[in-house]
Amino acid sequence: MKRITLTVVSMLLLIALALNITACVSEQENTDNQSKCENLYEAESEAPEDSSLIFSENEDTSESSSETESSETESSETESSEGETEEENDTVPPELKGEDFEILFGETFDYKSFVTVTDDYDAAPEISVDNSKVDLKKPGTYNVVYTATDKAGNSSSLTIKLTVKVLPGTDYTPPKITGKNFSIEFGDSVSYRNQVTVTDDYDEAPTLKIDNSKVDLDSPGTYTVIYTATDKSGNSSQLKLKLTVKEPISLEKMEEYVTVQAQKILASITKDSMTPLEKAYKIYRWTKYNHIAYSKTSDKSHWIVGAYNGFKNRRGDCFTYFAVSKALLIAAGIETFDMEKHRTDEKATRHYWALVNVGDGWYHMDCTPFAAKRKNANFFMVTNEEIWAWDDKYYKGEHTYLPEGVPEVATESIQDRVNYNWASLKY
């Protein structure tokens, strides 16, 4: 538009110049006027060229200014565009694709191998898998939730179904552990294995691991015991039980309890009309069979403690059996003497039993239920010769003792009067 305006002005100037020249020619006689015209001619003849230059320069300047403004605008737009990152421009979430899938019980697999993910900007969006509802140890169909997130923070989710299948005859059922919370007296031993039972559909003897690392039997309190059972197929189950170690009680309180329990039991297994020998035999059988479970350890600090644990918890080792039988014999008014095996090696096991005198002399009475493979382990009113003969055959040195301070043991056998099979005496 500026270029057109300048051209029109130039034409008008040329027309004016032509008119002035004509006027000057017609008035040649007028020297002053002619001179003026010549001067005007010279001035005007130069005007168009100068004007053209001026206008041209203005045009170029205008164009240059326009171009500069355009260039600056484009540069500003470019800089503004370059200032924005791909992440800021990315508003589209990744696309997840996948189909429902199946696996066989026990099969190993990668959850992420069942889906693909694509994104416009991010070549490798992050995939997270929520399989919290899946139980690979149990056949069934479960939901698996996949979530893909790109660098810009856009995310999308996909839920697909996972089916766990089993082949016929496959053992996928874990063992079953049953048990109840239990407690023990302070100072008592504990058989953790006896607190639970384990069964399985296929495995007759699943392995059982017991974690009692958190238990402190020397400090009263409640502790957690963890049982883990595993069958041959690798299926496992777990059970947590609470073990309470009770506050310790005094020896006097224990003795009171032992006395009461001994009298109650004695009243239930004997009659006043029985001889001391008959009462002793009833005591022997009650203590040895079916009433106290054998465990490998016990508190041996005092026989009253042993009897207390035996009556209350109904389990223990040879010391427990000895202590319980002693409490019952005392309640029956039968004389007893404590016996302990003489050990030549401190690492050797301890053993405890009693000597009993029912009026015919001192005899050995050992109520410990020895292992079944050690046949004829019946020690009611036996002599040294009889008990040592058994030791030599099955358990060498088990009843060895130092004679000093020990009552002399009778030598006459009364085993012909004892019917171990019928739990009675012969007369």
Which residues make up the CATH 3.10.620 domain(s) of the chain? 251-425
pLDDT value, residue 54: 40
Residue 35 has phi, psi (to 5 degrees) of -65, -40
- Domain boundaries 176-245, corresponding CATH code: 2.60.40.10
* Predicted pLDDT at 353: 98
Residues of each domain in the chain carrying CATH 2.60.40.10: 95-165, 176-245
List average pLDDT for each run of 10 residues in the chain, which is 427 residues long: 48 59 46 46 45 42 47 46 62 94 88 94 93 89 96 94 86 92 86 95 92 95 97 92 93 95 97 95 94 89 94 93 98 97 89 96 94 73 95 90 96 90 69
**Letter for the amino acid at 10?**
S
- In this structure, the number of other CB atoms found within 10 A of the CB of residue 52 comes to 14
Cα 94 from Cα 148, distance rounded (Å): 6
Domain covering 95-165 in this structure, CATH number: 2.60.40.10
What class has domain 251-425? alpha beta
